Amino acid sequence: MLSRDEITRYSRNILLPEVRKSGQEKLKSSSVLVVGAGGIGSPVLTYLAASGIGRIRCVDSDHLDLTNLQRQVLYRTGGVGSPKIDLAREQIHSLNPNLELDFRMERFSDKNAKDLVTGMDLVIETSDNFPTKFLVSDVCVENRIDYIAGGILRFDGQVLCVRPGQSACYRCIFENMPEEGSVPNCAAAGVIGAVAGVIGSIMAGEAVKILLGRDESFGLLQQYNLLESRFRSLRITRRSECTCGRKSLPK
């Protein structure tokens, strides 16, 4: 049930016919794991908290660097050198103290992946490296947990919403991990900070839709290019030989 304070706080959500009080209560009872609290993770965490997602788990192992502040808008200059996960927890709690926050300073890995996704209704992957992206996809597919993957580089960003067993997954698009060094990251090639804001906001919005029971975006690859002021959406077809079509992944 929503408290009087929560009804006031989320009143603009509740006014929407697609949400109403019952939908807001559904958001309050939902659990989401956010992998990464960086450029994309900043708006994702902010809007999930503002929307009233009841339980948010987040993992990030980095310390705040001065170069992060160009796009990681959850943080401030005074936090440089501190663990990002501690700063993020403080900011999100300040925004919405009604939530259950489980923020951990650790890297998403094959050692903790199963534990981290257990009990989650949705996983949001915001990392900047392919090993993490493929691992999130694989563990969510094996455990049949919905997930949203996002990425940014230079002036571009993309979002993919996945329902394992129903829609195309990350490996349906990228079958194998690129060779190390073959694809530059933001540290090497650069990125406009506002692109992280756009992509993170889209991911948070899609998360709210999914948690409210809508499924239109599963298997849809959404792409954004800032220079061309262009959005494009592509419906991705599942590959019949992809691991997402099997009951379990190969050992």
Contact 173, 12 (CB under 8 A): no
Residue-wise pLDDT tens for the chain (251 aa)? 999 999 999 999 999 999 999 999 999 999 999 999 999 999 999 999 999 999 999 999 999 999 999 999 999 999 999 999 999 999 999 999 999 999 999 999 999 999 999 999 999 999 999 999 999 999 999 999 999 999 999 999 999 999 999 999 999 998 888 877 767 788 888 999 999 999 999 999 999 999 999 999 999 999 999 999 999 999 999 988 898 876 444 43
CA–centroid distance for 93 within its chain: 18
Closest CA to 119 of 153, 82, 145: 145
Q: What value, to the nearest 5°, has the Cα angle with vertex 24 and ends 201 and 200?
A: 10
Residue 44: helix, strand or coil by DSSP? Answer: helix
Distance CA 74, CA 91 (A): 7
Return phi, psi of residue 71, to 5°: -140, -20
Mean pLDDT of the chain: 94
Convert the pLDDT of each residue in 8-48 to its tens digit. 999 999 999 999 999 999 999 999 999 999 999 999 999 99
Distance CA 140, CA 136 (A): 6
Contact 6, 28 (CB under 8 A): yes
What is the third-level CATH fold of 27-245? Rossmann fold (3.40.50)
**Paired residues of 93 in beta bridges:** none
pTM: 0.95
C-alpha separations of 18 from 24, 28, 134, 214 in Å: 10, 16, 33, 10
Strand ranges, E, within 12-110 = 31-35, 55-59, 100-104
Closest CA to 40 of 55, 60, 54: 60
Distance CA 17, CA 119 (A): 29
Domain positions in the chain: 27-245
Q: Which two tokens stand for residue 132?
A: 């993490």
Convert the pLDDT of each residue in 126-152 to its tens digit. 999 999 999 999 999 999 999 999 999
pLDDT, position 248: 47
